[in-house]
Amino acid sequence: MILGLDKDEQHQHPNGGGWVANTATVDSTAYVDGNAQVSGNAWVFGNAQVFGDAQVFGNAWVSGNAQVFGDAQVSGNARVSGNAWVSGNAQVSGDAQVFGDAQVFGDAQVSGNAWVSGNAQVFGDAQVFGNAWVSGNARVSGNAWVSGNAWVSGNAWVLNPLEINGSAHVVTLVSYTQIAIGCQVRTFSDWLKNYKTIGKENGYSLEQIKEYGEILKYLIKAAKVYIKRNQKLIAK
């Protein structure tokens, strides 16, 4: 049963027997297991599954073929959809979204306005928050934190993905070969060749173009050492 609610304020879902607050909405096609709980104004619909000791509460939505299980929690205004999985002791909260074939597990946390999508995995003690995006085949693990407006795609990170705050946009090492400035993601060589033109097209001043040129050169140089260290940690 759901602690804090009277018996007449909750019921067992016919498909699985899990406990559902009368204020929550669970489709007949969804599955809620015996020890799982859906409470608050949460919605579970489509073919979504909530099982184990998982909890979905607040205004959270779990939809599509998504699964929430283990001791995982989905809360706040969070959305878990598509074929996504949230499991273990993972927590998805705030206005975060986990969708596509993404997986969040272990003791990982996804919060704020963060998005985890594609085939991305966030696990271990990793945290993704703020307006951060983790997408593609990216792996964020260990004690890594991805925050602010950072983007991570492509490769695994145990270390916190490297980023530098410029006067206009954050510059982030999003994979072993790519850098993001704002919402533009390009290879190292592409940025070095075209940053002046891209800066002009996006309204950067001459001083800002020079600033971002220096940031790019520094970040690319630092990336070699940073990536090598990250790869060694992954190999352990």
- The yes-or-no verdict on residue 183 having pLDDT over 80 is no
- The yes-or-no verdict on residue 149 having pLDDT over 80 is no
pLDDT digits (tens, 9 = 90+) for 24-62: 999 999 999 989 999 999 999 999 999 999 999 999 999
Name 192's Cβ contacts closer than 8 Å, sequence gap at least 6: 216, 217, 220
| Cβ atoms 89, 68 nearer than 8 A | no
Provide the pLDDT for residue 197. 96
The token pair that represents 95 in the structure block: 């206005």
Could you tell me the pTM of the whole model? 0.84
Burial code (b: 16+ CB inside 10 Å, e: under 16) for 159-174 equals: bbbbbbebebbbbbbb
Q: Where are the domains of the chain?
A: 1-76, 163-235
- The yes-or-no verdict on residue 140 having pLDDT over 90 is yes
Provide the pLDDT for residue 153. 85
| Cβ atoms 93, 76 nearer than 8 A | yes
| Cβ atoms 83, 99 nearer than 8 A | no
Once rounded to an integer, what is the mean pLDDT over residues 15-29? 97
Rounded to the nearest integer, the mean pLDDT of the chain is 94
- The yes-or-no verdict on residue 215 having pLDDT over 80 is yes
Percent of the chain having pLDDT more than 90? 80
Once rounded to an integer, what is the mean pLDDT over residues 204-227? 96
Provide the pLDDT for residue 44. 98
